[in-house]
Amino acid sequence: MESNNKTVVVTGASGLLGRAVLKRFEEAGWKATGLAFSRAHKHPNLVKLDITDQEAVKHFLVSTRPEVIVHCAAEKSPDVVEKQPEEARKLNADATRNLALCAVQVKAFFIYISTDSVFDGKNPPYAEDATTSPLNKYGHSKRDGEVSTINLNAGVVLRIPFLYGPVDELAESSVAILFGQVKAGKPVTISHYDYRRPAHVDDIAGVVLLLAEKKLASVQGEQIYGIYHWSGPDQMTKYEMALIMADLFKLPKDHIKADPNAPTSGAPRAVDPSLSCERLQKLGAPTPVDFRTGVVPVLQPFLNA
């Protein structure tokens, strides 16, 4: 692909979403630089940078001066954040504030990836301007990142739901872990309590590119600012996802039992944090892929592994 001379830095480019975002920008001809940390050695194309090292981040961005920064890096597991709130706060909140400050300094457009976990799930669907009320420490830490992004006028917040997409190993995402349980055939009880709207990382990457291109094009009357929502089209519990996987790959499902109760350990979860996505629809975002179509190529490589 011929370069279009536009420049972007993607944090978390070794992660589930960041890999797709980096690829999407590269395919569109951008000069894209991806950052990683502990998995940098597995991705020679990425730059190793600990984003909690605020001086190193500032130095990197001042010398790179990208036009756009897409901030995907985070501790994404609510259970991990609940157990290690201080470390998670440094990464999810403090590093985000520093990146937003640097973005303002180098005049980069900052796209902060946030989550539907900023809502308590009691009054869905949530509009972009709905009042946030996180139930767990993860949601609080991500909301703090949103507040920095908006208050510093650094760029936009893109809230997304439960993700799925290509993985290197089944342990890498919740959807892939579920497939491992479906395939294993051993009795397993899966949550049938909270509802999710799984979104494919390639769709989200396309939306991130759309926001960046529209911002740089600065089409009159189409300002890119504030908070945006993206969601997959289908609502389901993890138990229902597991049954769909079994059907798609013609696997037995008698071993899968539903657990309708709220989890008794780990971080509290919102029952239904569905997002309404009107602002992105008005911008012309394409229709998201349905779960049954999107998940097959993701899981196929692991069917006989």
Ligand X SMILES: NC(=O)c1ccc[n+]([C@@H]2O[C@H](COP(=O)([O-])OP(=O)(O)OC[C@H]3O[C@@H](n4cnc5c(N)ncnc54)[C@H](OP(=O)(O)O)[C@@H]3O)[C@@H](O)[C@H]2O)c1
Task: Give 115's contacts (C-beta < 8 A, 6+ positions apart).
Answer: 138, 139, 142, 159, 160, 161
The helix (H) or strand (E) run that includes residue 148 is: helix 137-151
Tell me how far, at minimum, the Cβ of 73 lies from ligand X, in Å.
3
Q: Quick count: other Cβ atoms within 10 Å of Cβ 300?
A: 11
Distances (CA, A) of 22 to 14, 27, 70, 141, 151: 9, 9, 9, 24, 27
Taking CB under 6 A as the criterion, which residues in 41-70 touch ligand X?
A: 50-52
Tell me how far, at minimum, the Cβ of 227 lies from ligand X, in Å.
14
Residues in the chain: 305
Rank residues 53 and 251 by Cβ distance to ligand X and give the closer one. Answer: 53
Distances (CA, A) of 217 to 69, 118, 159, 164, 203: 16, 30, 23, 30, 21
Rank residues 37 and 126 by Cβ distance to ligand X and give the closer one. Answer: 37
Give the span between the Cα atoms of 194 and 237, in whole angstroms: 6
Task: Out of 7, 8, 15, 99, point to the residue binding ligand X (CB under 6 A).
Answer: 15
Rank residues 40 and 256 by Cβ distance to ligand X and give the closer one. Answer: 40
User: Is the distance from CB of 194 to CB of 270 less than 8 angstroms?
Assistant: yes
Q: Among 181, 161, 172, which Cα is nearest to 269's?
A: 161
Choose the binding region for ligand X from 38-46, 129-137, 177-185, 235-243 (rule: CB under 6 A). Answer: 38-46
Tell me how far, at minimum, the Cβ of 18 lies from ligand X, in Å.
5
Task: Out of 7, 14, 136, 148, point to the residue binding ligand X (CB under 6 A).
Answer: 14
> Does the protein bind ligand X through residue 224 (CB under 6 A)?
no
Of the candidates 112, 126, 138, 164, the residue annotated as catalytic is: 138
> Does the protein bind ligand X through residue 12 (CB under 6 A)?
yes
> Does the protein bind ligand X through residue 38 (CB under 6 A)?
yes
Give the span between the Cα atoms of 257 and 277, in whole angstroms: 33
Tell me how far, at minimum, the Cβ of 74 lies from ligand X, in Å.
3
> Does the protein bind ligand X through residue 166 (CB under 6 A)?
no
> Does the protein bind ligand X through residue 190 (CB under 6 A)?
no
Tell me how far, at minimum, the Cβ of 284 lies from ligand X, in Å.
23
Give the span between the Cα atoms of 256 and 223, in whole angstroms: 48
> Does the protein bind ligand X through residue 73 (CB under 6 A)?
yes
Q: Which residue is nearest to ligand X (CB)?
A: 15
Give the span between the Cα atoms of 305 and 300, in whole angstroms: 9
In terms of DSSP bridges, do strands 109-115 and 68-71 run parallel, antiparallel, or are they unpaired?
A: parallel
Task: Out of 74, 102, 245, 267, point to the residue binding ligand X (CB under 6 A).
Answer: 74
Rank residues 71 and 183 by Cβ distance to ligand X and give the closer one. Answer: 71
Distances (CA, A) of 169 to 11, 166, 201: 21, 9, 16
Q: Among 212, 109, 106, which Cα is nearest to 154's?
A: 109
Is 228 annotated as catalytic?
no
Task: Out of 36, 93, 158, 295, point to the residue binding ligand X (CB under 6 A).
Answer: 36
> Does the protein bind ligand X through residue 215 (CB under 6 A)?
no
Choose the binding region for ligand X from 30-38, 211-219, 220-228, 277-285 (rule: CB under 6 A). Answer: 30-38
Which are the catalytic amino acids? Answer: 138
> Under the rule (CB under 6 A), what is the footprint of ligand X?
11-12, 14-18, 36-40, 50-52, 72-74, 76, 91, 113, 115, 142, 160, 162-163
